[in-house]
Amino acid sequence: MSQFGTEFCDQFAIVRFEDGEWQAPALQALEPLQLHPAAHVLHYASTCFEGFKAYRWSDGKARIYRLEDHIARMQKSAASLRLPVPDADMLADMVIGLVRAHVADIPAPPSSLYLRPTLIGTLANIGAAASPSTEATLFVLASPVGDYFAGGARPLKLLIEDQRSRSTEQLGSTKTGGNYAAALGPTLDAKAQYGVDQVLFCPNGDVQETGAANFLLFNDEEVITKPLDSTFLHGMTRASVLSLAADLGYRINEREFTVDELLAWSTDYEAALSGTAACLTPVGAFIYGGKEIPVRDGAAGPNVEKLRSALQAIQYGDAPDTHGWLTEV
């Protein structure tokens, strides 16, 4: 299979917001978008997106994971950027229609169909730096994908950045491309200098998230993670893992914690990153102060694997969906 996110189905769903209302959505052949060079998105980054998956089970039907939750988060992102907010039912119908048309293109688990709704401001006005885009285009891409990490989920190495933030306080919980652009430079620099996989952003010593995933700690009894606020993304995989951990009897401890506390716990706790693409991926070491600090013995721990397996069992149809997370197509 091609590199994650580079292969696409031959159709996409699209709708435009014009004259103060959403037009009729369409499912059409995948083709380049036509944008005016003055489009708001190209100058003022008025864009947000979502990323989630559909799985094809052994019965031949597809299931979309946490569709309603992702739509709700996209509505919040659109509102924070002052973009036209997509109607929830309209967007759900667009996603479901696209998946229904491409069920046969969904590879069997653990592979899936990655879905990418994207909203962009299209108002042609280069003088609108302090004004919202009153025109927009919403589209949904479908991409058959395999495992995000070629060769499986090996333990990752993270650089602890204890000064800079991944994003701004206002937009940290908005799923907008600018947040990923802001993290790209520090992440690439860290990869080149230290050979790490990601940067764990901990501004002023406050442990937050990496450039593209939430961060959690585990032992046999407890899960520790930062409580939700506006500075970082409210991940659906994070939320799923916390729900499943509670079902399995873990104590859920959403609390602020510092780099010093994190390093003190690293001898006993497992660490992991959570996200749609990476699922729940173990962390094997930190780089901090020029030193490499192992997480436990540096190997993937049993609690991370237990919760990853519990989540994937629901997604793949091997365990009941007691939380109502799946939409059948």
* pLDDT of residue 169 exceeding 80: no
pLDDT value of residue 152: 60
Catalytic residue among 76, 175, 191, 306: 175
> Which are the contacts of 67, defined by CB distance < 8 A and separation ≥ 6?
52, 92, 95, 96, 327
Model confidence pLDDT, tens digit, residues 54-71: 999 999 999 999 999 999
* CB-CB neighbours of 20 under 10 Å: 8
Mean pLDDT of 287-305: 94
Residue 61 and residue 54 in contact, taking contact as beta carbons nearer than 8 Å:
no
In the structure encoding, which two tokens stand for residue 232, read together?
């970082």
One-character DSSP codes across 186-236: HHHHHHHHH--SEEEE-GGGB--EESSSEEEEE-SSEEEEPPP-TTS---H
Per the rule left: phi > 0, alpha: psi between -120 and 50, beta: everything else, 33 is: beta
- Going from the N-terminus, what domains does the chain have, and what CATH number goes with each? 11-145 (3.30.470.10), 156-316 (3.20.10.10)
Instruction: Give, for 138, the enclosing helix (H) or strand (E).
Output: strand 136-145
Decide if 113 contacts 159 (C-beta within 8 A): no
The predicted-structure confidence for 250-270, as pLDDT tens digits, reads as follows: 999 999 999 999 999 999 999
Strand 222-225 to 251-254 pairing: parallel
In order of 93, 183, 320, the CA distances from 66 in angstroms are: 14, 26, 15
pLDDT at 278: 78
Q: Is 175 a catalytic residue?
A: yes
Proportion of the chain above pLDDT 90, given as a percent: 87
Q: Which tens digits make up the pLDDT trace of 26-63?
A: 999 999 999 999 999 999 999 999 999 999 999 999 99
pLDDT digits (tens, 9 = 90+) for 172-200: 889 999 989 999 999 999 999 999 999 99
**Spatial distance between the Cα atoms of 64 and 328, rounded to a whole number of angstroms:** 7
Alpha carbons 125 and 130: distance in angstroms, whole number: 11
Residue 284: is its pLDDT beyond 70? yes
Average pLDDT over residues 138-143: 98
Interval 216-232 mean pLDDT: 94
- What six digits make up the tokens of 70? 């992702």
CB 99 within 8 Å of CB 54? yes
